[in-house]
Amino acid sequence: MKPMEPMKPMKPMQGSEAWWPQELGRPSTSGGQNGLRYAFFPDKQRLVIEENGKRTTYDSGDHQINGVSQSSGGSPRFRSQNGEVALDQLKTVD
């Protein structure tokens, strides 16, 4: 019987391509649901949303975004240390 050959090292998994503006760096949190993606950049105070292929950047102010919820057909609401934040409460910077 022939001895087993050593296993070859596994290649690292490739992450998905960044869809947000590269000048913002790496987000502290990101995610998506129901056709919406978001990425939050606390150092830049920016929340980037992509919905149905349209990307919008918001000034997050003093909000530290850490999650999102969305009821069926409703607008997304983001969780922060100050409670829930709706997108219409944030100023766009595009």
Let me know if residue 6 belongs to a domain. no
Give the CATH number of the domain where residue 33 resides.
Answer: 2.40.10
In a domain, 50, yes or no: yes
Whether 13 is in a domain gets the answer no
Q: Which residue has the tokens 């918001």?
A: 58
Residue 2 lies inside a defined structural domain of this protein = no
Please give the tally of structural domains in the chain.
Answer: 1
Q: Which domain holds residue 47?
A: 22-89
**What percent of the chain has a predicted confidence (pLDDT) above 70?**
88
CA distance 74 to 70: 6
In our burial notation (b when 16+ CB lie closer than 10 A, e otherwise), range 7-18 reads eeeeeeeeeeee
Looking at residue 61, its pLDDT comes to 93
The count of other CB atoms within 10 Å of the CB of residue 62 is 8
In angstroms, the CA 59 to CA 12 distance is: 34
Is residue 28 over pLDDT 90? yes
- Give yes or no for residue 14 having a pLDDT over 60: no
* pLDDT tens string 39-73: 999 999 999 999 888 999 999 999 999 888 877 66
> Is the pLDDT score of 17 beyond 90?
no
Q: Is 26 helix (H, G, I), strand (E, B) or coil?
A: coil
- Residue 75 inside a domain? The answer is yes
Does 94 fall in a domain? no
